[in-house]
Amino acid sequence: MNNQDFFYLGIITKPFGLKGQLFIYLDTDEPEKYCKLKSLFIDIDGDKIPYMIEEIFYKGSNVAVVKFSDLSPEEAKSLIKSELYLPTSILPPLTGNKFYFHEVVGFRVIDAVKGNIGVCSGFLDFSLQPIMQIDFNGKEILIPAVDEFIKGVDRENKRIDMDAPTDLIDIYL
């Protein structure tokens, strides 16, 4: 599997107790959906390595506790600050204007007033709202990726239709 075959789920933050359990932060809108997992992929030096889960439970506020199979407490501690991934193949397909960030990277972004404002190059995921990064001939345009601005997603033509505040786009151009 290549890196594009995975999506970022979260990060291991700190130990929990003395038996090798770990706190993990789940960077998702519905963290409770991931508390029946049997395995996770951990990024070790750029490679996604599968780890079997012995136990996992949700603590609230995007935090869960996990115990990986066959790891000593010392081995578990060595994984702190490691990023967690899952295969994109497990994601249910989204329709309409809903999308996964990784799904629309490379899509053209068309503004209702300014027209073609570039290509989606990524997202900055802030707690208040995600920000779409758009590459416009080497210049970066940053626009909040919120329902108010996104008017349509055309997966077949790899296009996002947007109605962003004109003044916001003008700042970058």
Task: Provide the pLDDT confidence category of residue 22 given band limits of 50, 70 and 90.
Answer: very high
Tell me the fold of 101-172. SH3 type barrels. (2.30.30)
Our measurement of the distance from residue 129's CA atom to the centroid of its chain's CA atoms, rounded to an integer in Å, reads 13
Q: Are 131 and 122 in contact (CB under 8 A)?
A: no
CA nearest to 136, candidates 164, 156, 155, 157: 164
Largest CA distance in the chain: 58
Q: What sign does the CA torsion over 160, 93, 47, 71 have?
A: positive
Same fold for the domain at 3-90 and the one at 101-172? no
DSSP letters for the chain: --GGGEEEEEEEEEEETTTTEEEEEE-SS-GGGGTT-SEEEEEETTEEEEEEEEEEEEEETTEEEEEETT--HHHHHTTTT-EEEEEGGGSPPP-TT---HHHHTT-EEEETTTEEEEEEEEEEE-SS-EEEEEEETTEEEEEE--TTTEEEEETTTTEEEE---HHHHHHH-
Task: Provide the pLDDT confidence category of residue 61 given band limits of 50, 70 and 90.
Answer: confident
The per-residue b/e assignment along 53-66, b for 16 or more CB within 10 angstroms, e otherwise, is eeebebeeebebbb
The answer to pTM > 0.75 is no
| Distance separating alpha carbons of residues 26 and 30, to the nearest angstrom | 9
Convert the pLDDT of each residue in 85-121 to its tens digit: 999 888 877 788 888 888 899 999 999 999 999 999 9
Residue 32 pLDDT more than 70? yes
| pLDDT of 4 | 73
Architecture per CATH, 3-90? Beta Barrel (2.40)
Domain boundaries, the chain: 3-90, 101-172
| Distance separating alpha carbons of residues 134 and 114, to the nearest angstrom | 14
Place of tokens 């960030």: 101
